[in-house]
């Protein structure tokens, strides 16, 4: 167990490699109760949130969500999040654990009259059920209920309990995220395990998401870097106005100064970790690793780092300095694991 965003979180139950494999081959369940949940509703909510988030809420229909980001005035990332449209001017928002208070304060500081914002984070337990066999697990615990389509959200009841299921995840596998009343969380967690989901901790969560090059806020995303530098322009609609958009427009026109690249070991070496230096093969410094792990699926070191954009081309030979030793590596196309 480790301290994480004010919570005691499991790094592993049975073992990181075993849990990682379970998600890739069968099904795993993660406790994501530390994540935050907001409910935004009321007249003018869509227009307000569309000016706060990078993606375009106008493209959403009822029962569908989208990945988006909230930026500061300089275009840096405050948080990445998923926002689901429940109905007209009615949204369920899932935010990162360490950013709950900051996100709420930032949104409230920019909220006009009309829309309402509720922080419901203490009311929910969240479970991420991920892997090829996730559908059979859901059928066992919620018989007769059909999972929504990818990125969809469904509110339903089982034995009178109000539940939410979202067809999203952070592993690259088929999966869903399940929310129930906090006091019922242990019961539903045990039901998922009884139905065949293996409990998984933060260690497997990190290796799974990094194989897919999914960014981690606070490591790969920060207030000093824009979504364009992070390679996430696909979820930024620069045709609309939102907080921080001007910096993104300028970067698109002039070119981004740095790029978040995927780096893969070409020889054996100690696992890459956050903060390790990245260099060109001649020793020229490029930056530091944001994230790094020994990939259980690929059997080699993988990492992400911000490097000067001119050195961020796929195929560029680099090296990672691990405890004074340079390990040969190369910049590769994202993601590491091709699904």
271 in the same domain as 189: no
Which CATH number belongs to the domain containing residue 319 in this structure?
A: 2.40.30.110
- Contact at 8 Å (CB) between 79 and 103? yes
Listed residues 210, 244, 269: the one ending a domain: 210
Q: Determine the Cα–Cα distance for residues 123 and 240; give it in Å rounded to an integer.
A: 34
Measured CA to CA in angstroms, residue 234 lies from 56, 172, 177, 331 at distances of 11, 17, 23, 21
- In angstroms, the CA 234 to CA 80 distance is 13
State the pLDDT confidence band at 229, using cuts at 50, 70 and 90. Answer: very high
Whether the pLDDT of residue 5 is over 90: the answer is no
240 belongs to a structural domain: no
Cα-Cα-Cα-Cα dihedral of 35, 290, 175, 10, to 10°? -60
Is 24 found in the same domain as 105? Answer: yes
On whether residue 30 sits in a domain, the answer given is: yes
| 307 and 161 part of one domain | no
The SS3 assignment for 94 reads strand
Supply the CATH number for residue 43's domain. Answer: 3.30.1360.120
The overall average pLDDT reported for the chain is 97
Q: 125 and 45 in one domain?
A: yes
Does 249 score more than 90 pLDDT? yes
What is the predicted pLDDT for the residue at 168? 97
Write out the H or E segment, with its range, that includes residue 30. Answer: strand 28-31
**144 domain residue, yes or no:** yes
Nearest to 336 by CA among 309, 305, 301, 308: 301
Question: 120 with 40: CB under 8 angstroms?
Answer: no
**pLDDT > 70: what percent of the chain?**
100
- Tokens coding 43: 């007249």
Same-domain pairing of 46 and 169: yes
Torsion 16-7-38-79 (CA) sign = negative
Residues 192 and 277 in one domain: no
Is residue 303 within 8 A of residue 289, CB to CB? The reply is yes
In a domain, 232, yes or no: no
Q: Are residues 7 and 110 in the same domain?
A: yes
247 assigned to some structural domain: no
Tell me, yes or no, whether 112 and 200 share the same domain.
yes
Q: Are residues 190 and 282 in the same domain?
A: no
Mean pLDDT computed over 305-309: 98
* pLDDT value at 215 more than 90: yes
Question: Looking at residue 339, what is its pLDDT?
Answer: 79
Q: What is the pLDDT of residues 96-153, one digit of tens each?
A: 999 999 999 999 999 999 999 999 999 999 999 999 999 999 999 999 999 999 999 9
First to last CA, the chain: 31
- Is there a domain that residue 72 lies in? yes
**Is the same domain home to 301 and 197?**
no
- Mean pLDDT to the nearest integer, 293-317: 98
Residue 119 pLDDT: 98
Range of the domain at 117: 2-210
Interval 216-232 mean pLDDT: 98
Q: For residue 61, what pLDDT band results from cuts at 50, 70 and 90?
A: very high
Query: What confidence tens digit (pLDDT) does each residue in 27-50 have?
Result: 999 999 999 999 999 999 999 999
Examine the pLDDT at 17 and tell me if it is beyond 90: yes
Exposed/middle/buried for residue 132 (C-beta within 10 Å: 0-12, 13-18, 19+): middle
- CA gap 121, 29 in Å, rounded: 20
| Domain end (from 153, 178, 210) | 210
167 part of a folded domain: yes
pLDDT value at residue 337: 97
Which two structure tokens, joined as six digits, stand for 157?
Answer: 């009841």
Which phi and psi angles does 213 have, rounded to 5°?
60, 35
Q: Are residues 205 and 102 in the same domain?
A: yes
| Separation between Cα atoms, residue 49 and residue 37, nearest integer Å | 15
Q: What does the pLDDT read at residue 224?
A: 98
Q: Are residues 131 and 197 in the same domain?
A: yes
Asked, for residue 253, whether it belongs to a domain, the answer is no
Domain count, the chain: 2
The confidence score (pLDDT) of residue 305 equals: 98
pLDDT in tens, 69-78: 999 999 999 9
């Amino acid at each position: 167990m480790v301290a994480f965003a004010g919570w005691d979180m499991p790094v592993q139950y049975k073992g990181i490699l075993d849990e990682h494999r379970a998600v890739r081959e069968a099904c795993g369940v993660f406790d994501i109760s530390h994540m935050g949940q907001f409910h935004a509703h009321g007249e003018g909510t869509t227009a307000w949130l569309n000016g706060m988030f990078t993606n375009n809420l106008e493209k959403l229909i009822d029962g569908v969500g989208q990945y988006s980001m909230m930026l500061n005035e300089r275009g840096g990332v405050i948080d990445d999040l998923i926002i689901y449209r429940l109905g007209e001017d009615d949204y369920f928002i899932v935010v990162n654990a360490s950013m709950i208070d900051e996100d709420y304060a930032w949104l409230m500081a920019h909220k006009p009259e009309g829309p309402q914002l509720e922080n419901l984070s203490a009311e929910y337990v969240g479970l991420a059920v991920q892997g090829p066999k996730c559908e059979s697990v859901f059928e066992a615990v919620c018989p007769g209920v059909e999972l929504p389509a990818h990125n969809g959200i469904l509110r339903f009841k089982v034995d009178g309990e109000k539940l939410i299921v979202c067809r999203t995840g952070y592993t690259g596998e088929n999966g869903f995220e399940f929310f129930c009343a906090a006091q019922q969380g242990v019961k539903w967690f045990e039901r998922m395990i009884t139905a065949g989901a293996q409990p998984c901790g933060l260690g497997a969560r990190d290796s799974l998401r990094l194989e897919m090059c999914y960014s981690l806020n606070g490591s790969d995303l920060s207030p000093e870097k824009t979504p364009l530098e992070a390679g996430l322009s696909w979820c930024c609609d620069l045709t609309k106005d939102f907080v921080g958009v001007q910096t993104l427009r300028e970067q698109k026109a002039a070119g981004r100064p740095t790029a978040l690249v995927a780096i893969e070991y070409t020889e054996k070496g100690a696992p890459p970790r956050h903060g390790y230096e990245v260099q060109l093969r001649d020793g020229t410094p490029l930056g530091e690793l944001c994230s790094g792990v020994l990939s259980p699926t690929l059997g080699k070191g993988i990492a992400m780092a911000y490097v000067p954009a001119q050195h961020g081309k796929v195929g560029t030979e680099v090296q990672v300095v691990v405890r004074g030793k340079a390990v040969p590596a190369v910049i590769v196309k994202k993601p590491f694991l091709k699904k």
